[in-house]
Amino acid sequence: MHNSDEVPNGTKPKKIFSRSNIIVYGTLLIISIYYLLPLWVMVMTSLKGMPEIRMGNIFSPPLEVTFEPWVKAWSYACTGINCDGLSRGFWNSVQILIPSLILSISVASVNGYALANWKFKGSEVFFTILIFGAFIPYQIMIYPIVILLREIGLMGSTAGLVLVHTIFGMPILTLLFRNHFAAIPEELFKAARVDGAGFWGIYFKVLLPMSIPIFVVAMILQVTGIWNDFLFGVIYTKPATYPMTVQLNNIVNSVQGVKEYNVNMAATLLTGLVPLAIYFVSGKLFVRGIAAGAVKG
Amino acid sequence: MSTKTPSVKVCDLDLQFGDIKVLQKLNLEIAQGEFLVLLGSSGCGKSTLLNCIAGLLDISAGQIFIGDKNVTWSEPSERGIGMVFQSYALYPQMTVEGNLSFGLKNARMPRDEIKSRVERAAKILQIEPLLNRKPGALSGGQRQRVAIGRALVRDVDVFLFDEPLSNLDAKLRVDLRVELKLLHQRLKNTMIYVTHDQIEAMTLADRIAIMKGGKIMQLGTPNEIYNHPKNLYVADFIGSPSMNFLNGELKDTKFTNGSLELPMGSYQFIKKTNLKNVTIGIRPEHIITGELSKKAPVITNVTINLVEPMGSDTLVYANLSDVQIRIRMEGNAKVKIGDRLEIGIDPSRASLFDTQTEQRI
């Protein structure tokens, strides 16, 4: 295609198999295989029957595709004394997730907004204390919170867990929102004040509409964090209100009977589906939001 | 200025951020319909002063009056001001119409009143076809027009501009500058305009306040500022290329620097004195060259060091009494390095300063 005696003119021709390309794409390929292989094994195993699994070829696709393990995992796998599968845990998790999500994001965004735009005496100290909260290990706070929840009568209830998630999400979310609002040109805020908008007017009419991407980011953070939470779920709720992750653990780690690898795999995939879906749905919006969030340009 | 109540009055204004004094004992009166420009280099407190007048910064001491109302503690929206910012600060998610009407909606104005005001502003600024667009789809000049419109619809007496043209390219800046001046002539509002661009200041202002370190160095008409700078800072700041300064001695109304002698008889002294250390300032454009130099009160010869042709005029660098001076000649002046040049100086157009106090004498 490209002669060595050709006179340089116009676009410089690029070699496809250059050393840098091989290194870059080669590394990417190896890393993706490394990460995708477990997923492949899980999906394949979950679609096999037990006899086929016992044959041992964990990497091979199923000879006979069956969805039975998925159905069982969802609707009649046994966890402890209940045999209604993960479905109950799923709805429990939804009931925990939605209020925690709304509550933590609304409080944290107003927090961040106030700390960025309505600085008050001691606001920096307040912010520092709040951020410091992010560095305290959860283990230290587990028992005090047990006492706290017991005293206010929320121990073991979904509401109690929602409260815990809201509190623990506060430092990082406040930081996220504060930094976002602080990066918005101050003049916009000043213009809104001259236009007679107050604290809530500026928040709802000016800043909120232009901050959708950061809300999506916060949502992604919270959905994955809360949905994948195991520790708080197992401590602060009771079996009837266990979130999905706790139920999954009970299914997978049950010591009685045969280990049903296909059901375990299906249950694990089902549990991971919500964060996965969030990434797929919001990923595009997320990127587009950042690109469209140009304030000045 | 006038006997009427001033449009904006600032009394003994102090502003501190912690220990840093940004504004100190600042007094300023702006007459009804006046175009006042606050000019200064960055960090001189000019934008801060504007923000204080707007009510966007809480002041440490002093009072601010707008009209005959004491607005020292009022919210920005209650002060009867409109403000235009450097970055336009348009609400990105609203249409142009939404941007214009936002303030009016916040004031709970009736819908038809909002509509008629927006239409009027759009007509004045010729942005009617853009009303349904979002700021992202506008050019820089259009955005700045919308920003001005947002101040216009508020139907206020005082407009505040915070470097409104600084983000525009050079050509557009000149165009909008002219438009702003026309707008002022038409609306006759009081306007306070912050800029670091002295051309903008000179062309737009009725009066200019030159600021430095939180203080007003001189407040006067562009003509006064340019021809009778009150101190060395103002003299050096205003004018591009800047003024030439020579140090010397003043005795019996005669300035001497080595072999150079300038009789200052025709100079308007504030107070006639004899001083060991004085600085004389002569503008590059006040140094006379060519045929006319022969008629000048003082004539001397210099050798050209450097020539900078700028099209409309030519800037010549030469040594006078061991100081490099700049001389502005006409654009097609035929001069080259090493030429001897006869120059004439008119002492009545020069400025004399006490070198110690830096004040005009």
Same domain, A277 and A147: yes
Give the closest of A187, A205, A206 to B85, CB-based. Answer: A187
Determine whether the interchain pair A185/B91 forms a contact, defined as Cβ–Cβ distance below 8 Å. no
Same domain, A190 and A264: yes
Determine whether the interchain pair B89/A196 forms a contact, defined as Cβ–Cβ distance below 8 Å. no
Determine whether the interchain pair A194/B54 forms a contact, defined as Cβ–Cβ distance below 8 Å. yes
Same domain, A134 and A274: yes
Instruction: Provide the strand spans (E) within chain B.
Output: 8-17, 20-30, 35-39, 61-66, 69-70, 81-84, 158-162, 190-195, 207-212, 215-220, 244-251, 254-257, 260-263, 275-282, 287-289, 298-309, 313-320, 323-330, 340-345, 351-354
Determine whether the interchain pair A187/B54 forms a contact, defined as Cβ–Cβ distance below 8 Å. no
* Average pLDDT score over residue span A215-242: 90
Q: Quick one: tokens of B342?
A: 């006869």
Quick one: pLDDT at residue A3? 55
Q: How far is CA A55 from the centre of its chain?
A: 36
Same domain, A275 and A167: yes
Can you tell me which residue has the tokens 């845990």?
A89
Q: What CATH number should be reported for the domain holding residue A158?
A: 1.10.3720.10
Residues B70-113 have pLDDT tens digits of 999 999 999 999 999 998 899 999 999 999 999 999 999 999 99
Best residue in B50, B53, B56 for a mutation probing chain A (most A CBs within 10 Å): B56
Structural domain includes residue A164 = yes
Determine whether the interchain pair A201/B107 forms a contact, defined as Cβ–Cβ distance below 8 Å. no
**Interface contacts A/B by beta carbons within 8 Å:** 68
Contacts of B75 in chain A (CB under 8 A): 193, 196
Radius of gyration of chain B (CA): 24
CA separation for the pair B329, B285 (Å, rounded): 7
Determine whether the interchain pair A190/B56 forms a contact, defined as Cβ–Cβ distance below 8 Å. yes
Residues B234-287 have pLDDT tens digits of 999 998 889 999 999 998 888 988 888 888 888 888 888 888 899 999 999 999
Q: Kindly state the helix (H) or strand (E) to which residue B252 belongs, with its residue range.
A: none
**Hey, is the C-beta of B89 within 8 angstroms of any chain A C-beta?**
yes
Q: Which amino acid is at B59?
A: I
CA separation for the pair B265, A31 (Å, rounded): 88
Can you tell me which residue has the tokens 């209830």?
A157
The total number of structural domains that make up chain A? 2
Average pLDDT, chain B: 90
Give the minimum alpha-carbon distance from A195 to chain B in angstroms, rounded to a whole number.
Answer: 4
Quick one: pLDDT at residue B191? 94
Same domain, A106 and A135: yes
Best residue in B93, B134, B155 for a mutation probing chain A (most A CBs within 10 Å): B93
- Contact B278/B361 with Cβ under 8 angstroms? yes
Contacts of B103 in chain A (CB under 8 A): 194-196
Can you tell me which residue has the tokens 């919308």?
B146
* Average pLDDT score over residue span A112-124: 90
pLDDT at residue B348 greater than cutoff 50: yes
Determine whether the interchain pair B83/A197 forms a contact, defined as Cβ–Cβ distance below 8 Å. no
CA separation for the pair A190, B85 (Å, rounded): 9
Same domain, A119 and A34: no
pLDDT at residue B20 greater than cutoff 90: no
Structural domain includes residue A174 = yes
Can you tell me which residue has the tokens 């809480």?
B58
In CATH, what number does B243-354 get? 2.40.50.140
Same domain, A118 and A246: yes
Sequence-distant (6+) residues with CB within 8 A of A212 are A289
Same domain, A41 and A120: no
CA separation for the pair A70, A264 (Å, rounded): 9
CA separation for the pair B360, B267 (Å, rounded): 12
End residue of a domain, out of A8, A32, A66: A66
Quick one: pLDDT at residue A295? 36
Determine whether the interchain pair B54/A296 forms a contact, defined as Cβ–Cβ distance below 8 Å. no
Best residue in A194, A212, A214 for a mutation probing chain B (most B CBs within 10 Å): A194
Quick one: pLDDT at residue A136? 86
Tabulate helix, strand, coil % of chain B (nearest 5): 30, 35, 35
- Contact A214/A290 with Cβ under 8 angstroms? no
Quick one: pLDDT at residue A4? 56
Residues in chain B: 361
Sequence-distant (6+) residues with CB within 8 A of B37 are B192, B193, B194, B195, B200, B201, B204, B205, B207, B208, B209
DSSP per residue, A259-283: --HHHHHHHHHHHHHHHHHHHHHHH
Can you tell me which residue has the tokens 């490209």?
A2
Structural domain includes residue A10 = no
CA separation for the pair A76, B42 (Å, rounded): 72
Quick one: pLDDT at residue A294? 37
ipTM comes to 0.85
Give the closest of A191, A205, A294 to B89, CB-based. Answer: A191
Determine whether the interchain pair A210/B91 forms a contact, defined as Cβ–Cβ distance below 8 Å. yes
Residues B54-67 have pLDDT tens digits of 999 989 999 999 98
Architecture of domain B8-236: 3-Layer(aba) Sandwich (3.40)
* Average pLDDT score over residue span A161-170: 93
Give the closest of A185, A191, A197 to B83, CB-based. Answer: A191
Same domain, A111 and A256: yes
Percent of chain A with pLDDT over 70: 93
Residue A226, CB half-sphere, CA atoms under 13 Å: how many? 33
Sequence-distant (6+) residues with CB within 8 A of A83 are A76, A77
Quick one: pLDDT at residue B1? 44
Give the minimum alpha-carbon distance from B160 to chain A in angstroms, rounded to a whole number.
Answer: 11
Determine whether the interchain pair B106/A209 forms a contact, defined as Cβ–Cβ distance below 8 Å. no
Quick one: pLDDT at residue A92? 92
- Contact A154/A226 with Cβ under 8 angstroms? no
Structural domain includes residue A78 = no
Quick one: pLDDT at residue B3? 54
Same domain, A42 and A105: no
pLDDT at residue A292 greater than cutoff 70: no
Break chain B into its structural domains and give their ranges.
Answer: 8-236, 243-354
Q: Which residues, listed in sequence order, are joined to residue B279 by a DSSP beta bridge?
A: B247, B353
Determine whether the interchain pair A192/B136 forms a contact, defined as Cβ–Cβ distance below 8 Å. no
Q: Quick one: tokens of B76?
A: 């920005």
User: pLDDT class for B43, splitting at 50, 70, 90?
Assistant: confident
Same domain, A190 and A225: yes
Chain A residues with CB under 8 Å of a chain B CB are 185, 187-188, 190-197, 201, 205-206, 209-210, 294-297
Bond preceding residue B241 cis, omega within 30 of 0: yes
> First and final CA of chain A: distance in angstroms?
42
* Average pLDDT score over residue span B153-180: 90
Structural domain includes residue A1 = no
Q: Quick one: tokens of B77?
A: 């929206």
Task: Give the 3-state secondary structure of B141-178.
Answer: HHHHHHHHHHHHCCCCCEEEEECCCCCCCHHHHHHHHH
| Residue B228: DSSP 8-state | S
Same domain, A229 and A135: yes
Q: Domain range for residue A38?
A: 19-66
Q: Which residues, listed in sequence order, are joined to residue B301 by a DSSP beta bridge?
A: B342
